[in-house]
Amino acid sequence: MSDWYPAGLEDDMRPRLFAAADRGEPIVLVTIVAADGGGPRGVGAQMAITATEAAGFLSGGCIEADVILHARATLADGQFREIVYGRGSPYVDTKLPCGGRLELLIERLEPTDRAIHDLRLAEARRQRVVYVSDGRRRSVGPARTESKGRDYPPRQRLIVIGSDPFALAIAGQGLNAGWRVDLVRPKGPEAPPPLPVGYHRGTIAEAFSHLRPDPWTAIAVATHDADLDHDALVHALKSPAGYVGVLGARRRLPERMRRLEAAGLSAEALSRLKAPIGLAIGARTPAEVAVAVIGEIIAMRR
């Protein structure tokens, strides 16, 4: 491994699986199937390894180089492997500083593997599924309480409504988290925002009709326009979005809630609103507010 390992920032291995399949290349998937102790990663954490690339991390740098060697052996002979690190491991020269134990499943997937196809289909349909494998047989099926395997929810989406530095900072922090981000600015300029996000210049209604929020969508309203905020919140709180928050002064909240109630929103819908938006960390600058907002969304997801 190189001195720096930026691919270790990747947690979702689906893009790596899809890219390898599109290239017609086999790929090795490494999954933590059992964990004990204080390690930084838990059951379900994965790495994806090809003949030339590796992504993901399992232990914070303790074993990744050795895992890649085992994965490349599986890539060569096609035989799945079950590897143990830490307590009871035969690899006494590869230590886990946390003093724990990790059990890994290392398996080769062909580009035509049905599991890759099913994962791709579920992602396109934004369906939550669980990947289960014993090294010989793989399956991708609906997530249930009793499901054991790698949980693959739809990719987190963030819809930011606004255009000022607070909106841009929230959108940028969403990108940093690896989320899909869309920025909505009704009657906005033709020039796109200075971020690689989806951009929507139409009305709030048109944007929501196109984006179709689901439970894995967070909506951050930050327009500083009372009427536009209201329109956005009505649409957001009527949607199944998993998170809805609005930027604004706490003293404005009673009037905001009265308007939303008058618009026909139920008490249950209103209880979903995070206002003021973000974790209470004393944030003031756009960058700080963005951290508070993304942190609150993550807390709700967990």
Rounded-to-integer distance, Cα 177 and Cα 14, Å? 16
> What would the pLDDT profile of 54-92 be if each residue is shown by its tens digit?
999 998 777 888 999 999 999 999 999 999 987 766 765
> What would the pLDDT profile of 105-155 be if each residue is shown by its tens digit?
999 999 999 999 999 999 999 999 999 999 999 999 998 766 678 999 999
Q: For the ranges 91-95, 103-107, 210-214, 286-290, which has the lowest average pLDDT?
A: 91-95
Rounded-to-integer distance, Cα 183 and Cα 148, Å? 36
> What would the pLDDT profile of 13-38 be if each residue is shown by its tens digit?
999 999 999 999 999 999 999 988 76
* Residue whose C-alpha is closest to residue 244's, from 280, 281, 269: 269
Beta bridge partners of residue 202, listed in sequence order: none
165 contacts: CB under 8 Å, gap ≥ 6: 286
- 2 versus 217: which is more confidently predicted? 217
Rounded-to-integer distance, Cα 197 and Cα 207, Å? 14
Six token digits for residue 84: 């143990």
Domains located in the chain, CATH noted:
6-152 (no CATH), 157-301 (3.40.50.720)
Is the bond preceding 186 in cis, omega lying within 30 degrees of 0? no
Classify 46 as helix, strand or coil.
Answer: strand
Q: What is the dihedral of CA 259, 274, 128, 109, to 10 degrees?
A: 140
User: What's the whole-number mean pLDDT along residues 273-279?
Assistant: 95
Helices (H), the chain: 14-23, 64-77, 114-124, 165-176, 204-211, 226-238, 253-262, 267-271, 286-301
Rounded-to-integer distance, Cα 295 and Cα 54, Å? 28
Classify 123 as helix, strand or coil.
Answer: helix
Q: Distance of alpha carbon 230 from its chain centroid, rounded? A: 28
Rounded-to-integer distance, Cα 2 and Cα 64, Å? 11
- Average pLDDT of the chain to the nearest whole number: 92
